[in-house]
A = this chain, B = another copy of it.
Amino acid sequence: MTTSLEQPTPAVLDDPETAVLEVARRAREASRALATATRATKDAALRALADALVASTDRLLAANAQDVERGRTGGMSPGLLDRLALTPQRIAGIADALRELAALPDPVGEVVRGSTLPNGLRLQQLRVPMGVVGMIYEARPNVTVDAAGLALKSGNAVILRGGSAAASSNEVVVEVLSGALVAQGLPGDLVQSVDAWGRPGAVALMHARGLVDVLVPRGGADLIATVVREATVPVIETGVGNCHLFVDASADQADALAILLNSKTQRVGVCNAVETLLVHADAADAFLPSALAALGAAGVTVHGDARTLALAPQGVATVAATDADWATEYLSLDLAVRVVDGLDAAVEHVRAWSTGHTEAIVTQDLRAAERFVAEVDSAAVIVNASTRFTDGGQFGLGAEIGISTQKLHARGPMGLAELTTTKWVVHGDGHVRP
């Protein structure tokens, strides 16, 4: 085995577990150089990566065309094909995202807490890189670049396992980024992929405890469930969003309608789109007929309970809702709708069915707003605004690596700080414990 910058070709290492552990060891070694790198070094590297991607536009397009062709013949949906496809404009956009990362503050070195203890010991809790971050994700080559950029800025090496649908694109992306790092005097092993070892390689990555510090799965519910079940490396669960909007009796109805349409239709395939509307029984007669009509006009199919369906105007596509609807993250122009007897029933519904991502209330009643905020146990709780705001960029965190729906380490949008850990540094003068 080698630890030099000259990597063996994947074929040399046949056993996926051995090969992936070697990748992880090289990543850990490479991360040491980056952990103490200055912000100037990291930012220069990010700008060099951006330039290298743009300079490699032709190669990237050629590789991407293979992925798109394979997807088309394999029957991939037009929506997914669109997300997979690169264009010169999209490559320029991906490169710009790296330049924007360079402009963000460096989380590493931040003093999180500090004090001088009664005995004179000087105590500091400093933000430091994790070390090695693993990403397991699906499709979309821009995620490959985002993940590499976020890891680099936060001082971490990254090991990528992308979806097979984007395998050709990702291979070239990793090659370009790795080469650009070496040209900047940084280890190429800071950005590596384990795609060459297929599913067994992904499993080996999930078991590389001690070499990989955190694993971030990003994709559908099945992918995330598999990683959570299989991994011994600590995992941050991201993204599954069965989000709710509750229209209270006191809601401003114009606000409620605008927030509902924005939450459902501004973009449908995303984790912070609303999937279930809950309406206070006292507001149902006034609100639902026009709201359902507006949803219908926007092409939304309403999966309603009996009280909802009784208020649906003609011409709106409706389906009788079952428990399966309350549990579903549609990611499509479908919406579950239920009339509830009040705030308590709304909170109970959310507690029973939510994935803990984002829930919103529209209300003019201060006590209702405060109770909803206190009693709903989700990563983001929103009063009188669209669920679509739960997003690293919208929250002002800059780029984001995902939205955590678990409670450990990070909850909600994860930016650069969430890719770091802390270290306690203690300075004494011969201090011993009495």
On A, residues with C-beta under 8 Å from B are 32, 35-36, 115, 117, 121, 123, 125, 128, 130-131, 209, 213-214, 228-229, 232, 234-236, 252, 254-255, 258-259, 261-262, 266, 369, 373-375, 377-386, 388-390, 394-396, 406-409, 411-413, 421-433
Contact = CB atoms under 8 A, between A and B. Distances in A.
B431 A386 contact: yes
A235 B232 CA distance: 10
B380 A424 contact: yes
Contacts of A407: 130-131, 213-214, 234, 421
A385 B121 contact: yes
A407 to B, nearest CB: 4
B236 A384 contact: no
30 contacts: A32-B375, A35-B374, A35-B375, A115-B396, A117-B394, A128-B377, A131-B407, A209-B228, A213-B406, A214-B408, A229-B232, A234-B235, A234-B406, A236-B408, A266-B433, A377-B423, A378-B423, A380-B426, A381-B424, A381-B426, A382-B428, A383-B427, A383-B428, A385-B426, A385-B427, A386-B431, A389-B428, A395-B424, A412-B422, A412-B423
B430 A258 contact: yes
Contacts of A394: 117, 433
Interface centre among A266, A406, A429 (most CB of B within 10 A): A406
A26 B7 CA distance: 54
Contacts of A424: 379-381, 390, 395, 411-413
Nearest to A125: B412
A26 B109 CA distance: 42
A381 B390 CA distance: 37
Contacts of A383: 425-428
Contacts of A413: 424
Given A214-B407, A380-B425, 5 more contacts: A128-B377, A130-B407, A213-B407, A261-B432, A262-B433
Interface centre among A36, A375, A389 (most CB of B within 10 A): A389
A318 to B, nearest CB: 25
Nearest to A385: B428
A384 B131 contact: no
Nearest to A421: B407
A121 B382 CA distance: 10
A85 B313 CA distance: 73
Nearest to A29: B351
B36 A375 contact: yes
Given A123-B395, A394-B117, A407-B131, A432 B384 contact: no
A165 to B, nearest CB: 28
Contacts of A254: 430
A272 B281 CA distance: 59
Given A131-B377, A381-B426, A228 B232 contact: yes
A159 B69 CA distance: 53
B384 A428 contact: yes
Nearest to A263: B432
A396 B123 contact: yes
Nearest to A413: B424
A433 B379 CA distance: 19
